[in-house]
Amino acid sequence: MARDNIEEHIISQAIISDYYQDLLESLQVDAAVVGGGPSGLTAAYLLARAGLKTALFERRLSLGGGIWGGGMMFNRLVFQEEARSLFDLFHIRYREHVPGYYVASSVETAAAMILAVCREGVKIFNLVAVEDVVLRENRVAGLVLNWSPVEPAGLHIDPLAIRCRYILDATGHEAQVVKRLVEKNRIELSIPGERSMWAARGERETVECSGEIFPGLYVSGMAANAVAGGHRMGPIFGGMVLSGQKVAQMIIDRWKRGEP
Ligand code: 48F
């Protein structure tokens, strides 16, 4: 193709048709992950790898959530022995700082996890915010979506919705999906938010508290911590990836049993 023969409208056509094909295919999925931080990325990767049709919605431009910032902008993160196999699974390089404490680049961690999720076939929708859930009887049955700039701009624009069998709230300490469900439906569930820092406890609580919180709705990572009132843990990320793994396995087992 000659360089002076590039048609702008064909470029637009390629982008629009490719994106909309993904969007149309994602109107009904098995699993919808809300939030592209470490727990959401881990869960999305494992769900797609197990064969579930999986979509991930992230309201920011880039995926990765709190990974990029490392600790106080030092672009490194730490994880512990229990999480090593997951860092290996994503082909992330690391070194043992002292026995039991592993350190990795936060940039490499984010990049490796994002690439793995893309390559596993997860449909990714960044710049899309989850506003609400779709309800059927006493369970969640879908997500209500809008472009993320709509809400901050105060625009009165109705959302679109998709159907899904299982939803994962991996929105970090805001626990946005659970909060919306509780507020809108006057559900008796208090969301205390995270406690002050205690790394050992926070790491344990995050994994313990990850699971199904309402029929069809799961929480992981800092969202699980916020819902249960667990301690924050700072820039140690083992609990985040282990929490995503735990929830993914719960959903995969249920899906394999053919349960809604
Ligand atoms: O906060 P985030 O990284 O969640 P996480 O997986 O990991 C927490 C750690 O990063 C860190 C930590 C160390 O262990 O404590 O904080 O629990 O990622 C949450 C993502 O969800 C997106 C948000 O932009 C972020 O990238 N998000 C939040 N609300 C919405 C959303 C929403 N309503 N719709 C779509 N995405």
With 80 as the cut, is the pLDDT of residue 70 above it?
yes
> Does residue 3 carry a pLDDT above 90?
no
User: Residue 1: pLDDT above 80?
Assistant: no
Mean pLDDT over 122-136 rounds to 98
Residue 218 Cα to ligand 1 middle (Å) = 14
CB-defined site of ligand 1, < 6 Å: 34-40, 57-60, 65-67, 129-130, 170-172, 174, 176, 221-223, 233, 235-237, 240
pLDDT at 2: 60
pTM as predicted: 0.98
Whether residue 64 is predicted with pLDDT greater than 80 in this model: the reply is yes
Which domains does the chain carry? 30-257 (3.50.50.60)
pLDDT value at position 75?
98
pLDDT digits (tens, 9 = 90+) for 161-172: 999 999 999 999
Q: What is the mean pLDDT of residues 188-214?
A: 96
User: Residue 162: its pLDDT value, please?
Assistant: 98
Residue 57 alpha carbon, nearest atom of ligand 1: 35
Q: Which tokens is 40 given?
A: 């959401």
pLDDT at residue number 4? 80
**pLDDT over 70, % of the chain:** 99
pLDDT reading at 129 higher than 80: yes
pLDDT at 260 over 90: no
Mean pLDDT, residues 111-120 taken together = 98
**Of the residues 58, 68, 168, 220, which should be mutated to test ligand 1's pocket, given the most ligand atoms within 8 Å of the CB?**
58
